[in-house]
Structure 1
Amino acid sequence: MSSIRQKILDTATDYLREHTLAEAQINELCQLAEVSRTSFYREFKNLDDLFTCVVTQLWTERLRAIISESEQATCPRKRLFHFAKQLASTAQSRDYLPRDEASIGQAIHLLYREDSRAPAAFTDITQPFIATCQRDGGVRQDIPAEEVADWILRQMWVLVSIPLTPKPDAGALGRYLQLFIVDALRPLQDDSTQDDTVHHKLDAILDKLRYL
């Protein structure tokens, strides 16, 4: 990455701490970054392209940090729960950019527009983590790791786009994550295998009892 490109990205990141996406102007950003408009257009197509890159950079950094923390858990299901909880907590806290509701909606739209590379970038980071959880028996294997990663990340965007209540219920959030992410991704053989084993043992006991 060129130094000019990173300089513009850093300037735009700082700018969004105090302003909305709608307030941004290329001339103002160029002045703040001390670069020419020619340099700007050499690195970015337009403001939408710039802000897509800003939000993508922020979320890829956060995803890497969350995965690094989550990998400390030895149990794959606890690992997945920690990952989902940290992801959801970040989404609900607004501890990232942009902060205002209108900008959040616009940012998500930019990230998932047809020509955006952001979803692939997020999935590339998350997929190996999901694949490891699958290998260790914590996540169902009948769905590709890439699809699971994309599904979880889309759950995050739902949480991002829903306005916060004054006092979020941490317990309710934990139940949501457990029921609709961790339990939903439970390996298929977990319950069925146990049930079949129990029924098989009961049948064997009943057969023996008939001859007593």
Structure 2
Amino acid sequence: MTKALRTRQKILDTAAQLIYEHGLSRFRIDDLVADVGITRQTFYRYFKNKNEVMTAVVVANGIKLAERVFDELTAMQLSFEDFLVEGVVHSVEVIKSEDSFYRFLEDDLTPAVGIMIENFLTVEQAMLPLADPYIERARESGIVKAEVTTHDILRWIFRAFLSEMLLSGLEPVEARRNYLKKMLVPSICYDLR
């Protein structure tokens, strides 16, 4: 790894730690450059502004969250329908866990959601290699409706995830699961019962 890549990574790692400790709303460039041990001028060689580094941290951790949840659910060998529902529910539960880095999403939900929405296509592109084979197997098995694309599925999951983030404290997990089974799954899957 070159010195430039190491410096960029150190900036991102330190920014992530500061966001974890203080939240997005209290994240400051002055704190970041002091902790990294660089000048503001050096920071601006790597990132245009505070929003760009915050976006990089939120997107990178959104991708890590999705990969983690995908790996954990794949190991459970769930049906495709349950995989959809549990993917949304489990993602929110990971974020809400006490020791989770993703806790900042709950504390600064509005700016974090804004960043995630603006960068959905970046996250989606990172998810395609994981999700596409799984979705295609379900499609070949006759589970996924023919007119529903992989992009549609990822977009619906993302929307359901955002709704769950906003509403998760209002209902018990089982009620949220049942709602997703009733509303999300029929949009994507044929009723094979």
Compute the TM-score of the two structures, normalised by the length of structure 2.
0.81
TM-superposed CA distance for 1:107, in Å, is 1.6
Q: Which stretches of structure 1, 4 residues or more, deviate above 6 A after TM superposition?
A: none
Aligned with 2:52 (options 49, 52, 58):
49
Query: Is it true that 1:145 corresponds to 2:145 in the alignment?
Result: no
Q: Cα deviation per residue 1:110-158 (whole Å; 9 max; x = unaligned)?
A: 2333xxxx31222120541433432333322311111211121121112
Question: What's 1:122 paired with?
Answer: 123
TM-superposed CA distance for 1:98, in Å, is 1.7
Contact preservation (8 Å) 2:95, 2:103: no
CA distance in 2, matches of 1:185, 1:149: 10
How many residue pairs match? The answer is: 183
Question: What's 1:84 paired with?
Answer: 88
Partner SS state of residue 22, structure 2: coil
Cα 1:45–1:91, aligned 2, differ >3 Å: closer, same or farther?
Answer: same
Question: What's 2:71 paired with?
Answer: 68
Quick check: 130-139 or 118-127, which moved more? Answer: 130-139
Q: Kindly, what percent of the aligned residue pairs are identical? A: 21
Partner SS state of residue 80, structure 1: helix
Cα 1:92–1:132, aligned 2, differ >3 Å: closer, same or farther?
Answer: farther
Aligned with 2:114 (options 98, 103, 109):
109
Superposition map of 1:110-189 within 5 A: 110-113=115-118, 118-124=119-125, 125-126=127-128, 127-128=131-132, 129-162=134-167, 164-165=169-170, 168-187=171-190
User: Which entry has the higher C-alpha Rg, 1 or 2?
Assistant: 1
RMSD of aligned Cα (Å)? 2.5
Contact preservation (8 Å) 1:11, 1:33: yes
Output the amino acid matched with 1:179: K
Query: Is it true that 1:23 corresponds to 2:29 in the alignment?
Result: no
Q: In proportion to residue count, which structure has more helix? A: 2
Contact preservation (8 Å) 2:73, 2:87: yes
Compute the TM-score of the two structures, normalised by the length of structure 1.
0.74
Output the amino acid matched with 1:98: F
